[in-house]
Amino acid sequence: MNKKGILTIAFGADKYIDMAVNLGRSIQLNSPSISTAIVTDSENPELYELYDIIIPLNPHFGINVEQKLCLDKYSPFDKTLFIDSDCLVFRDLEFAFDLFRDSSAITIGTEFFFPGDDCAFADIKIVTKNLGLKKIPRFNGGVYYVSKTSNQPDILAKARGFIADYKELGFWSFRDQGPADELLIGTALEYMGYHNISDNGKLMRTPIGIIGTLNIDIFKGKSKFNKYGFDVDPAIIHFAGSIAENAEYRREIGKLAIYHNSFFLKKARVGLFHMYFNVNQYLHDSRKSLWTITPRPLRLIYHAIKSRLYKFI
């Protein structure tokens, strides 16, 4: 068994498999020394190129995000850093294993839900009352850490134990496919008296709550933005939900695709590729800047001519 590795899960619709491909490319680029594994029902050949170990999906482990509660059962590693497939890796992740060393934490986060707080995944007041809790840890499930020699497997087992009666306990269905993993794991953490840790904005963040610009470049290792008034610089960005449709995500995965599929660029390494992309980006930005200063009448004439030409194409 490998001592440590990165695990992800991707199954079902093609878009989730495509995201896992993008994640795998980003890991190969920025954290290539760490072993990787993927749980999937897909036979996409790119997954076999990008991940060291392919693990067949076990449908008996549940539907939707319930599969994430079985990381301890799936992982071939002693120490596992789970990353959601809709993430991208911007820097080397060796430090993540040091971050969790000698800790019972299963993820990052120092915030809590309290009775009366609004939550999309549960009635916090009912859950805390039913289980005798005062609060529930609040975090994003884009990353989890599981060491088979620590307490994380016990936390996951406890979380799985809530599923059978989740509605009666006060949890709600996530996407009409069972309870959300964050609330189940957070409740298990609090119930068992364990705590998550702070990463000081260095391991993983979502751009939810972003103020200003998402300043990212996967080839420069740049991933800075302001989240709810705090500057963060995460090695992993979780493009959760509709954020994966943002222009920044599409741009970065486009760069990864060009680089991964070009034998010449891969041999020339990142420097030449970055120059190649910057030239194209400069031309695009120049055309955009020129368009913004073009008088409106000329723009209207351009659109009129263009629409007429389309009729003949």
- Which two tokens mark 282? 């400069």
Quick one: pLDDT at residue 310?
45
Is the pLDDT at 273 greater than 60, yes or no? no
DSSP 185-231: HHHHHHHHT---B--TTSSEE-STTEEEEEEEETTTTEEEEEETTEE
- Mean predicted confidence (pLDDT) in 109-121: 95
The residue with tokens 């390494």 is: 269
Instruction: Please state, in angstroms and rounded to a whole number, the distance separating the CA atoms of residues 51 and 76.
Output: 13
Give pLDDT tens digits for 137-148. 999 999 999 999
Cα maximum dimension of the chain: 71
Q: What is the separation of C-alpha 275 from the centre of its chain, rounded to a whole number of angstroms?
A: 28
Give pLDDT tens digits for 135-178. 999 999 999 999 999 999 999 999 999 999 999 999 998 777 78
